[in-house]
Structure 1
Amino acid sequence: MALMVVGLSHRTASLGVLERASFDAAAAEEVVEQLTASPHVDEAFVLSTCNRVELYCDVSRFHGGVADVGDALCRRIGLGADELGEQLYVHYEDAGVEHLFRVACGLDSMAVGESQIIGQLRGALRGLHERGLAGGTLDRLLQNALRVGKRAHSETGLDAAGASLVDAAMARATPVVGELAGRRALVVGAGAMSALVATTLARAGLDVIVANRTPDRAQRLASAVGGRAVALDDLRAEVAAADLVVSCTGAVGHVLDVAIVASALLDRPERPLFLADLALPRDVDPDVATLPGAHLVDLEGLGRDLANSAVADDLRSVRTIVAEEVAAHAASLRAADVAPTVVALRAQARHVVEAEMRRLASRVDLDESTRSEVDRTVHRIVEKLLHTPTVRVKELAEAPGGVGYAAALRALFDLEVGTSGAVTLPGDAPLSGTVADAVGRVS
């Protein structure tokens, strides 16, 4: 089995498609049941947020799994495979693990470093446990992802990444419009990044106006910062009245195009307008920068401002954490793969000892005390002989390509390990219990 991720996000799909693809709890449970009933998917969970919908699956066949998950998304969204396919991305095995760990850290979020995703991952984990999948492949993956996310936020200054972008934008705005306190700021969008922007601007003494396609969300944000909410239909008039415009909606397509900004500038020929585009994809048409009186900065420009800052160092540190954890997760999977072989070797050794002790008992008359002492001595000898090779094969298995050592051990000792981890000994039925039960006893 192998991990496969199929999804779409603010980076690849339009807001309308993301809205149609959104899963509530009931829909997520339904699609998971459908997928796990297929022959290619063993486990699955859905991660559905305001800017991404992703299905994580433990699959036996890559192409079959992609087809099953793609069909499920097409049915959910109501689009054909040809149309939806261009907006989907697929990650497999280690690439899928890396993607989830980046998501857990907030590196793949619209507002870089946001921590809300941690709660959503916990919800996915609860869903797995409610379906009786605790201890499975995806359970271990989610547990690790949560740990990675916590490491990123506790060991680095990632939480400050979004705030630093806003600070950098304000630093760029001051030379254009002058002292910011008392100025009028228009915030386009009402998501996590917009909330951060609005809060920072309000604290700096600006009059904040919030425009959003959903009036209720705009009103909630505006009320929280002592500002005012407006409809997107009023965008042209609000741009004309503002000194500073910050847009971060995450919509596909330009929210502020050249026509809107050019028209707004006609009402303010003597006042420069500063615009900061913090969205990905861009909210503001880059050609706006060519308009007289308009000063536009985007994430790329602000990124250059922060290139040598502590935030950039934090982002590099988080990427390092992700790389380390991906390698550690892969090593743990390889170690888990070798565990059934180690269990089989020890089971075979016990089988041989018990057979020989029965043979000895049939040929030599030993009292109970002597027989027990001989039995313990033989078992200690076998345990000591097996200790080094079993510990070493687990260590070797954690390195890339290490599964070959387990295969060599199986060949050398003629071990038979079934796909379920059951151990078969000559003349015996498979041993009872799970491999997981025995792993804890392996040195």
Structure 2
Amino acid sequence: MSVLTIGLSHRTAPVAMLERVSVSGDTLAKLLYDVQQDVCVAEAMVVSTCNRVEIYATVDRFHAALTSVSRLLSVHSGVPVEELTPHLYVHYDDRAVEHLFSMVCGLDSMVVGEGQILGQVRQALKLAQEHGTIGATLNELVQQALRVGKRAHADTGIDQAGASLVTAGLALAGPLEGRRALVVGAGSMSALAANTLLRLGVTDLVIANRTFERGLRLAESVGGRAVELHEVPRELVAADLVISCTGGGHHVITPGMLTGRDVFLLDLALPHDIDPAVREVPGTTLVDLEIIQHSVKGAREGDAVQTVRELVAEELAAFLNAGRAARVTPTVVALRSKAAGVVEAELGRLLMRLPELDGRARDEVALTVQRVVDKLLHEPTVRVKQLATSPGGDHYAEALRELFDLDPKMPEAMREVEL
């Protein structure tokens, strides 16, 4: 099985297209299930964030899987395949692993180095696990990617290479001290927004959320006040600054809710939380993901980014080499097993011809024969493991199977053998 990645992001698609393709809730779960049920796919995981939608799958046929998965993304997003295809990127095998490692480290983010992607990939993994669409291959890959991402954020300065989406958006709002702020939503992005506002000097902070208890917990953690979602129009009357990131699929703020007083609106959701028509209301400034994307383009990549690129290359090589070495293990086990069978058969024949041998002599003969076989097999098995990590390494294991007529799938070959 090989790993296939199909997706689109802020690098390949405008925000309007990302908004159309964005999947969440039941739609996301159904897409995940349908991909995994495809005849070409064994495992599946979907990463859906504000600036990317990516499907990871283990497949046995590249072209057939590419066609099927692209079609399913089209069906569940409602975007025709012919419109979707120009914006899609495809990564396969080693390139798919490299892309995932880079993405989790924040190298592929709209704002380089942002740490939110770690939690988003972790959530995607959890969802796939809950729905039973992920197996050993993808689970091991994603777990390793998360470890690489944590190492990148802990050991380098990548977090400072670029601001978070929240910080990048708020940079366009001007001074924040003493201003009244309303945060709509209580998820991870909303929590980040609330804490960022607090750090930047906002002292009057209101959290509005569909589930009041969750909003209350966030409000208490930042010294703010919680309200029900239906109270947003009333809170807008006094707010100087609004951040919305519910991603609920419909507009929670519309032109009719605004009074014409000066207000800065930051929409971090896909699909949009705030109706773009609010820009027509006097005194209103709306910043969304598309504006943030343009504001951070051309940001200088510093030493931290280069350090993370080197880290990704190092971790990628180690992961791929370990995988290639693991693939040759059944062949080595089969060779050892076959040799053990030959030794056992020949010793049996010898003892039938020389029944007068006492127990001590039998043990010494058996030990000597086993040592000879072990020494003969040691160098080939060590070398085939080493060569397996080089380009085209699978061919060495294949040659070993041909030379010794091995079947590594035989049940007896898969028993525990000291390698």
Same topology, TM > 0.5: yes
What is the letter of the counterpart of residue 94 of structure 1?
D
Do structure 1's residue 233 and structure 2's residue 254 form an aligned pair? Answer: yes
Distance 2:256 2:101 in 1: 38
Match of 1:317 in 2: 307
Q: Residues 116 and 170 (structure 1 numbering): CA distance in 2 closer, same or farther, change over 3 Å?
A: closer
Match of 2:353 in 1: 363
* 8 Å CA contact 1:125, 1:142 repeated in 2: no
Is the 8 Å Cα contact of residues 158 and 304 (structure 2) preserved in structure 1?
yes
Q: Secondary structure of 2:283's match?
A: helix
Corresponding residue pairs, total: 384
- Does residue 116 in structure 1 map to residue 106 in structure 2? no
Partner of 2:19 in structure 1? Answer: 15
1:264 corresponds in structure 2 to 283
Would you say the 8 A contact 2:22–2:271 is kept in 1? no
Q: Which amino acid aligns with 2:151?
A: R
Residue-by-residue CA offset, 1:132-172 (whole Å, 9 max, x unaligned): x75x3223222322322232233234455565787788788
Deviation at 1:236, TM superposition (A): 10
C-alpha distance 395-250 of structure 1, shift in aligned 2 (>3 A)? same
Task: Name the TM-score, length of structure 1 as normaliser.
Answer: 0.69
Hey, what's the Cα distance between the residues in 1 that align with 2:279 and 2:168? 27
Structure 1 CA distance, aligned partners of 2:331 and 2:5? 29
Of 33, 37, 43, the residue aligned with 1:34 is 37
Q: CA 1:119/1:61 → structure 2, altered by over 3 Å: closer, same or farther? A: closer
The residue type paired with residue 138 of structure 1 is L
Residue 208 (structure 2) pairs with residue 182 (structure 1)? no
Aligned to 1:343: 333
Q: Which runs of 5+ in 1 are unaligned?
A: 266-272, 287-297, 423-429
Paired residues of 1:236 and 1:264 also in contact (CA < 8 A): no
Q: Contact 1:187–1:208 at 8 Å: present in 2 too?
A: no
Q: Which amino acid aligns with 1:299?
A: V
Aligned with 2:192 (options 162, 181, 196) = 196
- Given that 1:32 and 1:46 are in contact with CA atoms closer than 8 Å, whether structure 2 keeps it comes out as no
CA distance in 1, matches of 2:167, 2:3: 39
Query: Given that residues 113 and 162 in structure 1 are in contact (C-alpha distance below 8 angstroms), is that contact kept between their aligned partners in structure 2?
Result: no
Q: How does 1:22-421 map to 2 (within 5 A)?
A: 23=27, 25=29, 27=30, 30-35=33-38, 38=39, 40-49=40-49, 52-109=52-109, 112-114=114-116, 115-124=118-127, 126-127=129-130, 136-160=136-160, 180-183=176-179, 192=188, 195-206=191-202, 216=210, 220=215, 223=219, 226=224, 230=236, 232-234=253-255, 241-242=262-263, 248-249=268-269, 260=280, 264=283, 280-282=289-291, 298-300=295-297, 303-304=299-300, 307=301, 312-365=302-355, 366-411=357-402, 413-417=403-407, 421=408
C-alpha separation in 1, matches of 2:177 and 2:307: 35
CA distance in 1, matches of 2:197, 2:109: 22
Deviates most, 71-80 or 13-22: 13-22
Deviation at 1:374, TM superposition (A): 0.8
Q: CA deviation at 1:3?
A: 0.8
1:361-403 Cα deviation digits (max 9, x unpaired): 2322322332122112211221122122211221121122323
Gaps of 5+ in 2: 226-231, 237-251
1:46 Cα deviation from its structure 2 partner: 3.6
RMSD: 4.3
Rounded to whole Å, the distance in 2 between the matches of 1:203 and 1:390 is 59
Contact 1:3 1:56 in 2 (8 A): yes
Give the Cα separation in 2 of the matches to 1:123 and 1:359.
Answer: 57
Q: Where does residue 432 of structure 1 map in the other structure?
A: 412
Equivalent position amino acid for 1:150 in 2: K
Question: Is the contact made by 2:8 and 2:18 (CA closer than 8 Å) also made in structure 1?
Answer: no
Whether the 8 Å contact between 1:104 and 1:117 is mirrored in structure 2 is no
> Could you tell me how far apart the structure 2 residues matched to 1:389 and 1:217 are?
63
Task: Report how far residue 4 of structure 1 moved.
Answer: 0.5
The more displaced of 233-242 and 197-206 is 233-242
Give the deviation of 1:188 after TM superposition: 9.5
- Give TM-score, length-normalised by structure 2: 0.73
The Cα of 1:97 is off from its aligned counterpart by 0.9
SS, match of residue 332 in structure 1? helix
- Structure 1 residue 123: Cα displacement: 0.9
